[in-house]
Structure formats: structure tokens, C-alpha cells
């Protein structure tokens, strides 16, 4: 597909890099010669100097033949006008990054009037991800599929869990009390494994399981990991993510305290979040954290604009015994360090937004035998969890799975049919309209037919 990316900042560059890796023809527009020079050294794309609002610049980028235009500059208004101009010049589909909370209530109207096919708010999407991660304090991530009917969560296996040292094929014979979930992926060191029946989980493995919401909750309770619900959260940083997250948590009846350094911003937050406790001060100050009761909160979420500050504050919270710490970091090279030092829950607004946009791109690129509905990346993109909706014209419809060729680097994890969730076996079939969740170590999958063949 021909894709035009407007804006070569962190998000635009990361997005262009992923799109190029998936084989798309990418053109990047940016107003800064310095940014273009830097990006040219890292990306195999065509670069054009100019504004995404300029008709001449868009025509030079051949916008009239673009399948998708993604406006990802730092300015909401520029992104919206770029989409409008691109659509009027012939672009097929437009995506805009719109971040300001003031646009939230009028977003449907703006999308219609400005010809924006899809709008992404990275900060709000990130806050939503964090609120979901707080449901299972022991898990590094919790992802949902099939409109919330299916969940995938991970946990660090420990001695005494009952799942350690037992081949998966014997797991439920030896642990009859254990609700049956699917062990869909295991991270061991730098490797990600799609486990088979003879696989044995070891202490220290990060294990990903998937099932319906009720069963996966019962599974973790059986492992004594169903710890008490999060009732108090301390947030460091009153930016957009902090504001959105506090709003969501207050709606969930969770007690929220928010630390913000800027006095004026702290004053505005106290007016817009009357249910939260707003603290004006430096969230990296250990004395302040102690005086505000850090060791007594159930969760701590550092969301400042500096990754290093978030990292250090997160480490301190772990040392003080906070049971759930979620750290915001946009630097991919920090992930391994954080995991090795005990920070299992890391959130990146850039990654959340890029994954959402990539899923939309794949849906547009799909051959329509099973379109991508949701997509999550595992281990910095080395594997993916994907949800497809099977179409009636697919060649594998009605065929038992045992008679299909399933890619060796993939796994069919769950099939959801008419609201019923099932872990599939050899005699089960995929039918039209099914929600199919698959795990693949091969990136760039846009169609279930790339994983399952007749």
C-alpha cells in the first residue's frame, strides 16, 4: 500500500519503520531539515520537506494516489487540516493524531466535517491500557479480545505455583483444581516460545495465558495470584495521560492522589478532578513520596515527561513495597533493563498508538478472508497476538483444524462463536463470523489465511 506519514517525530518515525518492515511504500513529510536528515539515515522511505497542510507539498508526495494518510505531527489542528486537505486531493483513507482533551466531546463531529476516517489519542489510549493493567496487579499486561469476552494476561512463574516443572500435556491431570486456560506464549530470557504439549514451564518464565474473563480470573485465584483489588493509586505527573487516567480511576471508585510539579497545572487539575487529591510538588522527591503515603498505596504510576525520572521513581516504589508499579517509557532500549530490575509493567504511548494504527492499516490491506480486529505486540514486536473475524469466503471455513496446515511459528489460541469462548482442538472448525485469536512469531500478519491454510 502507498502510505503517507506527516510528521517524523518519535511516533511518526516508529510508525514509518514498522510500515516499511511490513512492505508498504512509505513517504514522509516534515517541516524540519534536521529531522529529515536524521530520519533518512534510519528509514528506507521517500522524504519531502514541507507542511502537511500545503497543497503543493501533498501533491509532490503524490497524495492523490495514497491509500492511507497518517497525520502524526505535534499539532492537533495541523493533523486535522492535513487530513482534510489530503482527502480533498484524493487520498483514500485518513488517520489523525488528536491529543487535546478539549476535542474529546466534539470528536465525532470533527471527524465527519474534516474527513478524518480514524482518530487516535495516544494519551487517552495509554490511560485506558493502564486502567486495564491495574485489574491484575501481578500481571505485566492484560489485553482484551472479542469485545471484552476474552483476556490475555501474563505472570512471572514462581516455585510452588503448580504450573512449574510439569509438561503442559499433563498440566490439568496433575492439577485438577486448576481452571483450564491456554498457555499461548512463554518468555524465557531473550526467547519467546510458542509452547507445545511437551513444554515445561520453569520458575522465572514470563507466561502468557488466554481464556474467557471468568476462567482466567479463577485460574489466577487458584494460583493464589488473585490478590485484592487496587483501591488506591498514586500518579506522578499531571499531563494528559495523568488527567485521563485519574478520570477513569475515579469513575471506577478508586482513590486517586496525583503529584504535579507545576503550580498552575496543579491548580487546574484540582478544578477539573474534584474527586482526586492533587499534590503540588516534585514526584521524584523521596521525602515527598513518603510523606504522602507511598508505601501504603496499592499502585504507583509515574507519568512524567522524562523517562529517567519515571524509571527512578518506579524503582523506588518497588523498593518501598508497592505491589503494582506501572512505568511510562518511550525508549524501547530501556525495556530489558527495567524487566531485569523488577519493573514488569511498562507502558509506551508511542507503542500503544503505533499498534492501534498498524492494526487499522492491516485491516485496510487485508484480503478480506479474515480481517484484523485487534493486534498487540509482545517482546518489543518479536511476536504478536491478533484477533481476526473469519469471513464466509475463506478456504478454511468448515474444515477441522487437524486437517488444516497451521504455521509452525503460530498458534490458534481461542475461537469465540456467538458469545461462547472455546479453546480449539483438532476436531473444531472455524466458521464465518468467528472471532479467532492467534499468536504469531512472524510480524506483519494481516490475514488469518497467512497462518491457517487448507
Coil, helix or strand at residue 314? helix
Other beta carbons within 10 Å of 344: 19
For residues 198 and 275, membership in a common domain is answered with: no
Q: Is residue 356 part of a domain?
A: no
Residue 115 Ramachandran class (φ > 0 left, ψ -120 to 50 alpha, else beta): left
Residues 247 and 343 in one domain: yes
Residue 445 burial class via C-beta count within 10 angstroms: exposed 0-12, middle 13-18, buried 19 and up: buried
**Looking at the structure, do residues 233 and 292 belong to the same domain, yes or no?**
yes
pLDDT band at 367 (very low <50, low <70, confident <90, very high): low
- What CATH number does residue 390 fall under? 3.30.70.1450
Question: Are 235 and 214 contained in the same domain?
Answer: no
Whether 337 has a pLDDT exceeding 80, the answer reads no
Share of the chain above pLDDT 90, in %: 56
Give me the pLDDT at residue 134, please.
86
pLDDT band at 25 (very low <50, low <70, confident <90, very high): very high
Instruction: Answer yes or no: is 361 within a domain.
Output: no
Alpha helices in 238-334 (DSSP H): 240-251, 263-272, 286-291, 307-319
Count of structural domains within the chain? 4
Flag whether 32 is in a domain. Answer: yes
Looking at the fold, whether 165 and 103 belong to one and the same domain comes out as no
Q: Based on the domain organization, do 215 and 237 belong to the same domain?
A: no
Q: Is 165 inside any structural domain?
A: yes
Domain ranges, residue 436: 368-453
Residues 385 and 444 in one domain: yes
pLDDT score of 145: 86
- Asked if residue 360 is part of any domain, the answer here is no
Reported as a pLDDT band with limits 50, 70 and 90, residue 271 is very high
Q: Cell 465525532 identifies what position?
A: 108
Question: What pLDDT score was predicted for residue 227?
Answer: 57
359 in any annotated domain: no
Q: How confident is the model at residue 427 (pLDDT cuts 50, 70, 90)?
A: very high
Report pTM: 0.76
Strand order in the sheet with 435-440: 370-378, 383-390, 435-440, 410-417, 420-422
| Residue after which a domain boundary falls, among 74, 90, 120 | 120
Residue percentage of the chain with pLDDT more than 70 = 95
Q: Is the pLDDT of residue 150 over 70?
A: yes
DSSP 19-79: HHHTT-EEEEEES-HHHHHHHHTT--SEEEES-TT-HHHHHHTTGGG-SEEEE-SS-HHHH
**Residues 314 and 392 occupy one common structural domain:** no
The answer to whether the CB of 211 falls within 8 A of the CB of 421 is yes
Whether residue 334 is predicted with pLDDT greater than 80 in this model: the reply is no
- Residue with the bigger pLDDT between 345 and 27: it is 27
Are residues 267 and 328 both part of a single domain? yes
Is residue 358 one of the residues assigned to a domain?
no
Instruction: Report whether pLDDT(368) > 60.
Output: no
Q: How confident is the model over 129-147, as a mean pLDDT?
A: 81
Lowest mean pLDDT across 100-104, 117-121, 197-201, 316-320: 100-104
Does one domain contain both 241 and 216?
no
> How sure is the predictor about 439, in pLDDT bands with cuts at 50, 70 and 90?
very high
Of the pLDDT bands very low, low, confident and very high (cuts 50, 70, 90), residue 223 is confident
Nearest CA among 18, 406, 380 for reference residue 194? 406
Do residues 209 and 262 both lie within one domain?
A: no
The grid coordinates listed for 312 are 527512578
Same domain, 233 and 205: no
For residue 99, what are the CA distances in angstroms to 103, 107, 353, 421? 8, 11, 11, 35
Confidence of residue 47 (pLDDT cuts 50, 70, 90): very high
How does 131-145 read in b/e, with b if 16+ C-beta sit within 10 Å? Answer: bbbbebbbbbbbbbb
Confidence of residue 2 (pLDDT cuts 50, 70, 90): very high
296 within domain boundaries: yes
Helix, strand, coil percentages, rounded to 5, for the chain: 35, 30, 35
Reported as a pLDDT band with limits 50, 70 and 90, residue 405 is very high
**Last residue within a domain, chosen from 88, 120, 152:** 120
Distance of alpha carbon 182 from alpha carbon 168, whole angstroms: 10
Q: What's the rounded mean pLDDT across residues 209-218?
A: 90
pLDDT band for 443, please (50, 70, 90 cuts).
confident
Grid coordinates 487535546 are at which residue?
100
* Structure-block grid coordinates of residue 21: 518492515
Residue 316 neighbours by CB distance under 10 Å: 18
Give the per-residue pLDDT at 370: 60
d(CA 179, CA 214): 10
Question: Which CATH number do you get for residue 318?
Answer: 3.40.50.720
Domain end residue (candidates: 57, 88, 120):
120
Amino acid at each position: 500500500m502507498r502510505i503517507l506519514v506527516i510528521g517524523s517525530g518519535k511516533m511518526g518515525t516508529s510508525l514509518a519503520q514498522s510500515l516499511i518492515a511490513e512492505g508498504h511504500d512509505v513517504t514522509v513529510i516534515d517541516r524540519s531539515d534536521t529531522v529529515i536528515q536524521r530520519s533518512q539515515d534510519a528509514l528506507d522511505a521517500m522524504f519531502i520537506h514541507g507542511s502537511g497542510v500545503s497543497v503543493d507539498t501533498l501533491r509532490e508526495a503524490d497524495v492523490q494516489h495514497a491509500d492511507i494518510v497518517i497525520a502524526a505531527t505535534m499539532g492537533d489542528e495541523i493533523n486535522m487540516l492535513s487530513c482534510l486537505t489530503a482527502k480533498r486531493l484524493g487520498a483514500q483513507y485518513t488517520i489523525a493524531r488528536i491529543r487535546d482533551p478539549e476535542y474529546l466531546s466534539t470528536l465525532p463531529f470533527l471527524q465527519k466535517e474534516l474527513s478524518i476516517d480514524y482518530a487516535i489519542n495516544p494519551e487517552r489510549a495509554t490511560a485506558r491500557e493502564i486502567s486495564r493493567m491495574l485489574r491484575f496487579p501481578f500481571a505485566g499486561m492484560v489485553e482484551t479480545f472479542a469485545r471484552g469476552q476474552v483476556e490475555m494476561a501474563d505472570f512471572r512463574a514462581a516455585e510452588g505455583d503448580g504450573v512449574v516443572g510439569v509438561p503442559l500435556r499433563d498440566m490439568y491431570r496433575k492439577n485438577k483444581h486448576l481452571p483450564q486456560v491456554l498457555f499461548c506464549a512463554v518468555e524465557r530470557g531473550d526467547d519467546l516460545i510458542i509452547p507445545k504439549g511437551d513444554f515445561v514451564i520453569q520458575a522465572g518464565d514470563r507466561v502468557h495465558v488466554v481464556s474467557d474473563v471468568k476462567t482466567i480470573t479463577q485460574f489466577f485465584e487458584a494460583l493464589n495470584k488473585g490478590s485484592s483489588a487496587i483501591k488506591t493509586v498514586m500518579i506522578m505527573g499531571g499531563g494528559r495521560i495523568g488527567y485521563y487516567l485519574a478520570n477513569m480511576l475515579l469513575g471506577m471508585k478508586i482513590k486517586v492522589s496525583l503529584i504535579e510539579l507545576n503550580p498552575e497545572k496543579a491548580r487546574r487539575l484540582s478544578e477539573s478532578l474534584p474527586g482526586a487529591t492533587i499534590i503540588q510538588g516534585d514526584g521524584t522527591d523521596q521525602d515527598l513520596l513518603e510523606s504522602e503515603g507511598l508505601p501504603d498505596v496499592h499502585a504507583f504510576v509515574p507519568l512524567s515527561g522524562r523517562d529517567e525520572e519515571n524509571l527512578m521513581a518506579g524503582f523506588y516504589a518497588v523498593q518501598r513495597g508497592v505491589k503494582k508499579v506501572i512505568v511510562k517509557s518511550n525508549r524501547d532500549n530501556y525495556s530489558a533493563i527495567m524487566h531485569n530490575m523488577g519493573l514488569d509493567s511498562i507502558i509506551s504511548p508511542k507503542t500503544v498508538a503505533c499498534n492501534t494504527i498498524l492494526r487499522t492499516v492491516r485491516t485496510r490491506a487485508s484480503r478480506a478472508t479474515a480481517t484484523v480486529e485487534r493486534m498487540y505486540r509482545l517482546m518489543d514486536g518479536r511476536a504478536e497476538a491478533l484477533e481476526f473475524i473469519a469471513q464466509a469466503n475463506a478456504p478454511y471455513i468448515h474444515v477441522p483444524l487437524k486437517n488444516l496446515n497451521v504455521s509452525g511459528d503460530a498458534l490458534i489460541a481461542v475461537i469465540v462463536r456467538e458469545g461462547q469462548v472455546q479453546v480449539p482442538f483438532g476436531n473444531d472448525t472455524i466458521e464465518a463470523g468467528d472471532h479467532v485469536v492467534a499468536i504469531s512469531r512472524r510480524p506483519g500478519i494481516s490475514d488469518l489465511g497467512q497462518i491457517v491454510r487448507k
